[in-house]
Amino acid sequence: EPEVTQTPSHQVTQMGQEVILRCVPISNHLYFYWYRQILGQKVEFLVSFYNNEISEKSEIFDDQFSVERPDGSNFTLKIRSTKLEDSAMYFCASTPARSGYEQYFGPGTRLTVT
């Protein structure tokens, strides 16, 4: 069964550095999402992406964040200048349609900002 994949599984970076988290959604899916989960807290929506543009974003997704689908398979989340509070698990998800279908989640990337 096809799965969403994410790399790396764990990323350690210093405060102020840029990081790029990578996701490969399921190949025939059209809608892509990023969520994050700070340790011990709930899963929070960051951004949704469709047809090469952002569909919706949350308050968390400020100017330090950006997303891109640089080719036909990858979907990336960039944090320009990481802060300590960016430390979290970041989950990518994809779905074939906007509603009516489950979102398939990747295994997550643990980002640790020191």
Partner 1 sequence: AQRVTQPEKLLSVFKGAPVELKCNYSYSGSPELFWYVQYSRQRLQLLLRHISRESIKGFTADLNKGETSFHLKKPFAQEEDSAMYYCAPYYGQNFVFGPGTRLSVLP
Residues 6+ apart with CB under 8 A from 113: 13, 14, 15, 82, 83, 84, 85, 86, 87
Q: Tokens standing for 32? A: 């892509």
Among 106, 109, 111, 113, binds partner 1 (CB under 8 A): 106
> Quick one: 24 or 45, whose CB is closer to partner 1?
45
> Quick one: 17 or 55, whose CB is closer to partner 1?
55
Using CB under 8 A as the binding rule, whether residue 1 contacts partner 1 is answered as no
Using CB under 8 A as the binding rule, whether residue 53 contacts partner 1 is answered as no
Q: Tokens standing for 63? A: 């100017």
Site for partner 1 in 11-40 (CB under 8 A): 33, 35
